[in-house]
A and B are shown apart, each in its own frame.
Chain A
Amino acid sequence: MIFHKCDRTEELKVIAAEIRRQVILSLAEAGSGHLGGSLDLADIFAVLWFHTLQHDPHNPHWEERDRLILSIGHVAPVLYASLALSGYFPVEELATLRKLGSRLQGHPGKDHGLPGLEASTGSLGQGLSLSVGLALGAKISHKECKTFCILGDGELQEGSVWEAAMSAAHHQLGNLVAVVDRNGVQIDGTTSHVMKLEPLADKWKAFGWQVVECDGHDHQALMEALCPAREPHQQPKVIIARTVMGKGVASIEGDYRWHGRAPSKEEAEKFLEELQHVSQ
């Protein structure tokens, strides 16, 4: 099953549900991995890959394509599902996630040759720097393409993110959009407990970014928010997307214990039923 680009929320809703379904199936098959964040990003990824991003699954190396860097490499399943459902590789390959010889590494590994994957990531705090380099590269070669970077909220505790944020504003990278998956939880508990991030919007503003806060599960709001910042300011733009970890599977929503867990086969069946219930 492959989906094409669209701009209707009804269609995006179906796509997001299918991304979630594939995330659950692939993680249950893998037996390990990160379910919570992979589920909560499904709406954002549905909008990005099936609405916002300029890309061509038949020509992954198209020079003018928009680039997406998954700084939180641990939610690779949501990226893999989006790529497969876009047509970059067969959906059946999602079942090889985390297995020996697979192109679908536990954290994205470019050396395994997965079509559509821009970069190896997974050590937190590095993706925004890569994105700044990509955006700067596009700017100096006068290309129109945009760079999108997916950040976790816990990841913002890494100082290197703020080095990158400072440099994006300094070099006036209006072609750069960062998305913060603001689910408020990380491995040890809530972000406010582990290391508080608020006032988060003010932090980004102080670093010279245009800030948009929105519901990370509202497709219409996301479609509007994800367009790059407007000229002439050439400010980079960050979307602080409020999400609920595990979104779509009511019984685990908001439970930080699902950050780094994969469902068993039995749990997966139950979750898929819950998911179906929601999408109907």
Chain B
Amino acid sequence: MYLNRGNKATKTGFGEGVLEAARKNPQVVGIGADITASVGMNLFADQFPDRFFSLGIAEQNCVGVACGLAMTDNIPVFSTYAVFAALRAADQIRVSLCYNNLHVVIGGAHAGISVGPDGATHQALEDIAIMRVLPNMTVLSPCDATQARIMTIQAINQCTAPVYIRFGREPVPDFTNDSVPVEIGKARLMNPGNDLTIIATGHMVWEALAAAEILKEKGVGARVINMHTIKPLDQDIIIQSAGETGRIITVEEHQMTGGLGGAVAEVLSQQHPVPLQIIGMPDHFGESGKPAELLEKYGLSAQKIAESTTHFLISR
């Protein structure tokens, strides 16, 4: 079992990552769309005011300006709520960013239903689907604050093309060990097991691990994989797990169509068909509520994931 060192928001990990990268890399510049502290960019903005540019509530322009800055040898980081970053500015991301294949890091904050009381307008449940179909785009979805910090630094220092990194608002367990290397495009096996595989992303990795504990008491060995990179997708680990465990469940704070589940389905259906269950939002908008209440209602809590898993094992 993994140890929770204390709850911490993944957006804080993102903000720490930007600051850490910027301290060593003078090319890093930041762009703000009014909600700087809310998306974790205040750490950078406070430390490097000369490299932080406020552009107001104008996400389309923010993406375009970031592209222009990237064309002049800067590494721009632009973060706003994922609903605005990935959807309001989608055409700018497609043409100005991805078609020009520029190195801009886009932070999609407040991703998922765990945003809570703000309700459906601010709960991004479609961003993975939209970002992952864009050519040249890398899509990251770290599981905790530590991984968010590490992957943000990698997105800035190692990547050379567009990156979308998704993170949440609610403080969640910070449990991964930062001495274990994280590699973009290589999923991580978090828990061994041979009865089935749970592939989770973002905050759902912790819930999946807790679900595996519940299942273990019932004698079910659930393998858990942290799919922190949605694109490029680690196909090898999916095919290997399909072969070794015969069944796959995906879990994400996202619509059931087009997200992690869709990506895994694309791999399995073409390369190694096995029964697959996708856990996510069933073509439905979110709503207000406490994060834990919403996870429970929409089947994304550890308990609900364990129940779904049990049904899945019996049903086929």
Residues of A that sit less than 8 Å from B by CB: 67, 109-111, 118-123, 125-138, 140-141, 147, 159-160, 163-164, 166-167, 170-171
Residue in contact with A135 in the complex, picked from B55, B68, B94, B100, CB distance below 8 Å: B68
4 cross-chain pairs, A with B, having the tightest CB-CB distances, nearest first = A133-B68, A129-B64, A137-B72, A163-B61
Chain B contacts for A136, CB-based, 8 A: 53, 65, 68-69
Given A129-B61, A131-B68, A133-B66: A111 and B101 within 8 A (CB)?
A: yes
Which residues from 153 to 204 on chain B have a C-beta closer than 8 Å to any C-beta of chain A? none
With A120-B95, A133-B68 already in contact, 19 other A-B pairs whose C-beta atoms are closer than 8 Å: A67-B71, A109-B99, A123-B94, A126-B60, A126-B64, A126-B96, A127-B64, A133-B67, A134-B68, A137-B73, A137-B74, A140-B74, A141-B73, A160-B60, A164-B61, A166-B56, A166-B58, A167-B56, A170-B56
Chain A residue nearest to B91 (CB atoms) is: A123
Query: In the complex, what distance in Å separates the CA atom of A67 from the CA atom of B60?
Result: 21
Query: In the complex, what distance in Å separates the CA atom of A146 from the CA atom of B72?
Result: 12
Chain A contacts for B101, CB-based, 8 A: 110-111
Chain B residue nearest to A130 (CB atoms) is: B68
- A160 and B92 within 8 A (CB): yes
Query: In the complex, what distance in Å separates the CA atom of A140 from the CA atom of B92?
Result: 23
Q: List 15 A-B contacts (CB under 8 A).
A: A119-B71, A123-B91, A123-B95, A129-B67, A129-B92, A130-B68, A133-B67, A134-B69, A136-B53, A140-B29, A160-B92, A163-B58, A167-B56, A167-B61, A171-B53
Chain B contacts for A133, CB-based, 8 A: 64-72, 76
Instruction: Indicate the member of A125, A130, A163 with the most B CB atoms within 10 Å.
Output: A130
Query: In the complex, what distance in Å separates the CA atom of A129 from the CA atom of B31?
Result: 13
Chain B residue nearest to A165 (CB atoms) is: B61
Given A119-B100, A126-B96, A167-B58: A160 and B64 within 8 A (CB)?
A: yes
Chain B residue nearest to A158 (CB atoms) is: B60
Residue in contact with B72 in the complex, picked from A120, A128, A134, A160, CB distance below 8 Å: A134
Chain A contacts for B95, CB-based, 8 A: 120-123, 126
Residues of B that sit less than 8 Å from A by CB: 29, 50-51, 53, 55-56, 58, 60-61, 63-74, 76, 91-92, 94-96, 99-101
A50 to chain B, nearest CB (A): 24
Chain A contacts for B71, CB-based, 8 A: 67, 118-119, 130, 133-134, 137
Q: How many A-B pairs with Cβ below 8 Å? A: 110
Query: In the complex, what distance in Å separates the CA atom of A147 from the CA atom of B60?
Result: 20
- B91 and A129 within 8 A (CB): no
Chain A contacts for B50, CB-based, 8 A: 140
- B56 and A129 within 8 A (CB): no
Instruction: Indicate the member of B64, B73, B99 with the most A CB atoms within 10 Å.
Output: B64
Query: In the complex, what distance in Å separates the CA atom of A133 from the CA atom of B51?
Result: 13
Query: In the complex, what distance in Å separates the CA atom of A132 from the CA atom of B64?
Result: 8
A143 to chain B, nearest CB (A): 8
Query: In the complex, what distance in Å separates the CA atom of A141 from the CA atom of B96?
Result: 22
- B96 and A129 within 8 A (CB): yes
Chain B residue nearest to A123 (CB atoms) is: B95
- A129 and B63 within 8 A (CB): yes
Chain A residue nearest to B65 (CB atoms) is: A133
Query: In the complex, what distance in Å separates the CA atom of A159 from the CA atom of B60?
Result: 9
Residue in contact with B91 in the complex, picked from A126, A128, A141, A159, CB distance below 8 Å: A126
Query: In the complex, what distance in Å separates the CA atom of A120 from the CA atom of B68?
Result: 12
- B65 and A120 within 8 A (CB): no
- A129 and B68 within 8 A (CB): yes
Chain A contacts for B100, CB-based, 8 A: 110, 119-120
Query: In the complex, what distance in Å separates the CA atom of A177 from the CA atom of B246?
Result: 61
Chain A residue nearest to B89 (CB atoms) is: A160
Residue in contact with A163 in the complex, picked from B60, B69, B94, B96, CB distance below 8 Å: B60
Chain A contacts for B56, CB-based, 8 A: 163, 166-167, 170
Query: In the complex, what distance in Å separates the CA atom of A188 from the CA atom of B21?
Result: 50
A177 to chain B, nearest CB (A): 14
Query: In the complex, what distance in Å separates the CA atom of A118 from the CA atom of B72?
Result: 11
- A141 and B72 within 8 A (CB): yes
Instruction: Indicate the member of A121, A131, A164 with the most B CB atoms within 10 Å.
Output: A164
Residue in contact with B65 in the complex, picked from A67, A122, A132, CB distance below 8 Å: A132
A147 to chain B, nearest CB (A): 8
Chain B contacts for A126, CB-based, 8 A: 60, 64, 91-92, 95-96
Chain B residue nearest to A133 (CB atoms) is: B68
Query: In the complex, what distance in Å separates the CA atom of A164 from the CA atom of B61?
Result: 6
Instruction: Indicate the member of B29, B65, B92 with the most A CB atoms within 10 Å.
Output: B65
A112 to chain B, nearest CB (A): 11
Query: In the complex, what distance in Å separates the CA atom of A147 from the CA atom of B68?
Result: 10
Query: In the complex, what distance in Å separates the CA atom of A135 from the CA atom of B71?
Result: 10
Chain A contacts for B70, CB-based, 8 A: 133
- B72 and A167 within 8 A (CB): no
Query: In the complex, what distance in Å separates the CA atom of A129 from the CA atom of B33?
Result: 14
Chain B contacts for A118, CB-based, 8 A: 71
Query: In the complex, what distance in Å separates the CA atom of A135 from the CA atom of B68?
Result: 8
